[in-house]
Amino acid sequence: MEVRLTSLGRVIERCWKCAEQETSNAVARKYHAPNEEQLTFLFASELRAVVAEASSTGEVERAFRADLRSISGLDDDAARRASSKLIARVNFHGRQHEGKKSASDLGIVIRRPLVRLTPYGARLELRRDQAIGLLAQAKLRRLAAPKKSGRLTRKQARLFPERSAYYSLLLYRLDGQNTDELKPFRWQLCKEHTVEQVKSWLRSDAFPEEMSSLQIIRKLFDGTIGTKDAAIIQTIIDAPATSEARFIDIQIFWPEGAPPPPRFLELRRHAQELQVVQPRR
């Protein structure tokens, strides 16, 4: 059973929220009426800076240690050794051939440690680089303009049925009274919806289940949305040499030169009390 990394997830959520706010501030101060691509670039740059700071101050390492220390039966010294030097960073790769393969213009991948209880609850297993990916189509609506949020291209519409299980809409909105006021990002998951439904939403700018970024990042971090399929992630979402989308790659890892964490951590007693993964609401 997989152990939920609640504290570590909250660090990523905080970084995302802060980067959104900094993007909004930058638009208000310096960038008049940006388009989708410019907004995505600005946001990714802010996210990179915020995540780098969380690493340099030790926030990422402390959060992972807190998650390990919450596990019943795990020695405190073992938690300290396993979390030592853990850092996070953001890579942002630019667009190459949008929409021909992925049906989107943005991919988001979170790579993080995997911690799980071995059979019979005797040990914890640590693995690197569990990857979870989500495709997003960014759409901008200027609220003073006619009520619509763009459209899907023919290629995007054709590929949508193959990607819908891990596909979303990322909704950028600029205030109707002030085109320099960027509203908080909103999202719509597309799983179990048809391409005709998505087209209708975009025409009307009415979406049945809008979510905040914190809701989306929390679910993505926990793996309750998106895909964990390594082949899909490598070839569709985040392969910079072949992918047709920009992508934001959030990596939480032990860098080269740091002592590698042990693969297994012994528990002092049977771990029936372990906090295991359950979907967060």
Query: What DSSP string runs through 103-140?
Result: SSSEEEEEEEEEEEEPGGGSEEEEEEEEEEEEEEEEEE
Say how far residue 180 (Cα) sits from the centre of its chain: 26
pLDDT value at position 97? Answer: 40
Contact criterion met (CB below 8 Å) for 96 and 236: no
Query: Percent helix, strand and coil across the chain, each rounded to 5?
Result: 40, 25, 35
Among 151-155, 226-230, 252-256, the range of highest mean pLDDT: 226-230
Among 17-21, 229-233, 237-241, the range of highest mean pLDDT: 17-21
pLDDT value at position 178? Answer: 60
What angle do helix axes 59-69 and 6-30 make, rounded to 10 degrees? 150
pLDDT for 100 beyond 60: no
Contact criterion met (CB below 8 Å) for 114 and 178: no
End-to-end CA gap in the chain: 20
Q: What is the mean pLDDT of the chain?
A: 87
Mean pLDDT of 5-30: 97
Residue, of 171 and 277, whose pLDDT is higher? 171
Tokens 């630019």 belong to residue: 94
pLDDT for 272 beyond 80: no
pLDDT for 11 beyond 50: yes
* Residue 245: band (very low, low, confident or very high) from pLDDT cuts 50, 70, 90: low
Whole-structure pTM value: 0.88
pLDDT value at position 98? Answer: 45
pLDDT value at position 118? Answer: 86
pLDDT value at position 242? Answer: 46
Residue, of 11 and 278, whose pLDDT is higher? 11
